[in-house]
């Protein structure tokens, strides 16, 4: 098993907070492997993907739950979004069995958190398990040999441990067809499966670029509301993340559009069918930007930090790739260059803070 940096934080919270702990993340990122590595002696583990396990816990009957939990002090519910009413079931357990430590996992925050937020207010804490990060794969001294593989094939554990690149491609294609689209298409809000697939592939070609919702709607021949709905589902299924523009002066800075990045670049590259070396690709800069934005988010999750993050662009065309607040910090990403751009100097002049250059030689403080 590859050690996961979030494990200590999840374990500490689960055993000492007295709260229900939710571990969220896409399928195949290692949630089940992680929770099975925890040290416990009297746990009831139920995988709701299995009908016989689902039948045991899919109830709001206090008497039935009492019989189920009578011999246990720890309850783990894997893929809890399969429950008919996960919020109410977990609330009944939490309120009536204070000695039970509860951990639930879910592969869709759209399906799970939306059905928990009101019922379990104040009763749970949640964490996200992402694909393997560069800081989990390597150290700050030896990360360079790992960059190419992570940029091309991503960090899904099953993919990462393989040595044969052709086999990696096949596994990524399997994840796309068997898990990615299969799970997403199960949502009641998805009525046009072809449009969703075409939208996902269109986004894969636009990483690092500002998204025009109307343009996507026209190209895919669907209405803008459907585009917005599908974007929301893709984000809450841990396929994409969105980065919004930073602005203190809306008159001088663009504030409408946002950028989309893929949580896993292996899936992104499989969607467009391109696994060529970064040295011969026209999108190496966009890949590098996507990689750094998502890897930074992973690092922040390990540290249990949630600063608001942005990109910055003004009407003159000046642009900064990544900005964090509290305190305000700015970063410019360069895959193969060593000098800051004019945009960086423009940002520094306007906000009176330096812009940090992040390239292949300077990852230590940013990602480790």
Q: What is the pLDDT of residues 253-309, one digit of tens each?
A: 565 689 999 999 999 999 999 999 999 999 999 999 999 999 999 999 999 999 999
- The parent domain of residue 196 ranges over 140-367
Q: What pLDDT sits at residue 188?
A: 60
Question: Is position 219 within any domain?
Answer: yes
Omega before 327 cis (within 30°)?
yes
Which tens digits make up the pLDDT trace of 54-76? 999 999 999 999 999 999 999 99
**pLDDT at 117 > cutoff 70:** no
Total number of domains constituting the chain: 2
Is residue 154 located within the same domain as residue 278? yes
CA gap 207, 248 in Å, rounded:
25
Question: Is position 2 within any domain?
Answer: no
Is residue 257 located within the same domain as residue 289? yes
Q: Which residues lie closer than 8 Å to 310 by C-beta, 6 or more apart?
A: 243, 244, 245, 246, 322, 323, 324, 325
Two tokens, residue 316 = 């003159």
Is residue 85 located within the same domain as residue 160? no
Is residue 77 located within the same domain as residue 151? no
Count other C-beta atoms under 10 Å from residue 69's C-beta.
19
Q: Which residues lie closer than 8 Å to 148 by C-beta, 6 or more apart?
A: 277, 278
Residue 198 exposed, middle or buried by CB count within 10 Å (0-12, 13-18, 19+): middle
Which has more confidence, 317 or 65? 65
Do residues 193 and 182 touch, judged by C-beta distance below 8 A? no
Is residue 276 located within the same domain as residue 314? yes
Question: Is position 134 within any domain?
Answer: no
Question: Is position 279 within any domain?
Answer: yes
CA gap 362, 360 in Å, rounded:
6
* Three-class SS of 185-246: CCCCCCCCHHHHHHHHHHHHCCCCCECCHHHHHHHHCCCHHHHHHHHHHHHHCCCEEEEEEC
Is residue 195 located within the same domain as residue 340? yes
Is residue 164 located within the same domain as residue 310? yes
Region 31-53: what's the mean pLDDT? Answer: 91
Q: Which residues lie closer than 8 Å to 105 by C-beta, 6 or more apart?
A: 22, 23, 24, 25, 31, 32, 35, 76, 77, 78, 79, 80
What share of the chain has pLDDT > 70, as a percent? 95
Q: Which of 128, 152, 167 is the last residue of a domain?
A: 128
**pLDDT at 180 > cutoff 70:** yes
Burial 257-267 (b: 16+ CB within 10 A, else e): eebbbbbbbbb
- Split at pLDDT 50, 70, 90, the class of 248 is confident
Burial 43-63 (b: 16+ CB within 10 A, else e): bbbbebeeeebbebbbbeeee
Supply the CATH number for residue 88's domain: 3.40.50.300
Is residue 31 located within the same domain as residue 169? no
Is residue 247 located within the same domain as residue 116? no
Question: Is position 147 within any domain?
Answer: yes
Is residue 240 located within the same domain as residue 153? yes
Q: Work out the angle between the directed axes of helices 165-175 and 265-272 (0-180°, nearest 10).
A: 90
Mean pLDDT, rounded, of the chain: 92
Two tokens, residue 158 = 């099953």
pTM (whole model) above 0.85: yes
CA gap 109, 24 in Å, rounded:
7
Distance of CA 252 to the CA centre of its chain: 32
Is residue 62 located within the same domain as residue 94? yes
Is residue 109 located within the same domain as residue 240? no
């Amino acid at each position: 098993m590859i050690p996961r940096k979030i494990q200590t934080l999840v374990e500490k919270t689960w055993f000492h907070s007295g709260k229900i702990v939710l571990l969220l993340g896409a399928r195949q990122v290692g949630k089940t492997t992680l929770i099975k590595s925890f040290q416990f002696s009297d746990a009831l583990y139920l995988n709701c993907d299995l009908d016989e396990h689902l039948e045991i816990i899919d109830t709001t009957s206090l008497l039935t739950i009492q019989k189920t939990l009578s011999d246990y002090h720890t309850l783990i519910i894997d893929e809890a979004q399969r429950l008919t009413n996960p919020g109410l079931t977990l609330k009944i357990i939490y309120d009536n069995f204070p000695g039970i430590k509860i951990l639930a996992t879910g592969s869709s925050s759209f399906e799970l958190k939306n059905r928990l937020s009101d019922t379990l207010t104040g009763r749970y804490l949640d964490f996200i398990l992402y694909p393997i990060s560069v800081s989990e794969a390597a150290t700050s001294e030896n990360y360079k040999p790992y960059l190419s593989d992570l940029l091309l094939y991503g960090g899904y554990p099953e993919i990462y441990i393989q040595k044969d690149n052709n086999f990696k491609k096949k596994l990524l294609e399997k994840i796309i067809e068997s898990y990615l689209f299969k799970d997403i298409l199960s949502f009641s809000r998805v009525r046009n499966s072809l449009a969703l697939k075409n939208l996902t592939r269109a986004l894969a070609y636009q990483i690092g670029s500002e998204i025009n919702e109307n343009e996507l709607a026209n190209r895919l021949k669907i209405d803008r509301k459907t585009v917005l709905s599908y974007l929301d589902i893709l984000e809450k299924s841990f396929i994409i993340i969105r980065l919004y523009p930073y602005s203190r002066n809306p008159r001088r800075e663009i504030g409408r559009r946002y950028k989309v990045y893929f949580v896993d670049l292996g899936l992104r590259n499989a969607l467009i069918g391109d696994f060529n070396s970064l040295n011969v690709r026209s999108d190496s800069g966009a890949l590098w930007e996507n990689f750094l934005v998502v890897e930074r988010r992973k690092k922040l999750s390990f540290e249990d930090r949630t600063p608001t993050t942005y990109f910055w662009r003004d009407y003159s065309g000046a642009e900064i790739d990544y900005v964090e607040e509290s305190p305000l910090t700015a970063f410019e990403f360069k895959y193969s260059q060593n000098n800051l751009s004019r945009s960086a100097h423009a940002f520094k002049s306007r906000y009176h803070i330096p812009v940090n250059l992040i390239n292949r030689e300077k990852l230590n403080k940013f990602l480790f």
